[in-house]
Amino acid sequence: MASVFVGTSVDGFIARGNHDLDFLPEGGGEEHGYEAFMATVDALVIGRNTFDKVLTFDAWPYGPKPVFVLTTRPGPRPVPAGATVEFLAGEPSEIVARLGERGFRHLYIDGGKTIQRFLRAGLIQRLIVTHVPVLIGEGISLFGSLAEDIRLQHVRTRSFASGLVQSEYLIGPAGRDSPAP
């Protein structure tokens, strides 16, 4: 199983064009289900840009969970103390198969391009999107363009005192439209 847990502006951007996340609320205060979600995850699969951004944070946010960084750029990056990081390359289906063979059953997919690639490949089954009450006008889109519609099954929507609105969806084989003949 592969899931996405992501915050976006109301206009659908996960980051500014320069990868800045300054519009997202800081941690602390309201619990939005992230800790409970992370408890179900075996490993993370993130893109290189996301990894580079996470390295700028004050603390490594994933604890000891294995993090697989997808990259085609040569040369490993420094890894924070206590972090378990491995660099991989390949198509999403190959990555999921390789990690499945290693016993990883629930993958957290993160990063704009990575989410888009795994979604287009039909490999994401659960999508949790938290909308932050702000419009930023432009930036890195969560979904980008799609070749076909992807139907979602609504599970639930929650709102929080801060104005955040979180919706959870399931995606399955029946949720994908067949291409036109």
| Residue pLDDT, tens place only, 111-126 | 999 999 999 999 999 9
Q: How many Å apart are CA 169 and CA 155, to the nearest integer?
A: 5
Checking if the pLDDT of 142 tops 80, the result is yes
Question: What's the mean pLDDT when you consider all of the chain?
Answer: 89
Task: Choose among 116, 50, 96: nearest CA to 77.
Answer: 50
For β-strands 107-110 and 2-9, DSSP reports them as parallel
pTM for this prediction: 0.89
Backbone φ and ψ for 152, nearest 5 degrees, come out as: -115, 145
What are the Cα distances from residue 47, in Å, to 33, 110, 170? Answer: 23, 7, 22
- Give CA 114 to chain center in angstroms: 7
The full length of the chain comes to 181
pLDDT score of 173: 61
pLDDT score of 59: 87
**E strand map for 73-162:** 84-88, 107-110, 126-132, 140-141, 153-159
The tokens describing 82, both together, are 């206590």
Q: How many Å apart are CA 15 and CA 12, to the nearest integer?
A: 9
Ordered domains of the chain (ranges, CATH):
2-22+31-175 (3.40.430.10)
115, burial (CB in 10 Å: exposed 0-12, middle 13-18, buried 19+): buried
DSSP state letter for 102: T
Checking if the pLDDT of 28 tops 70, the result is no
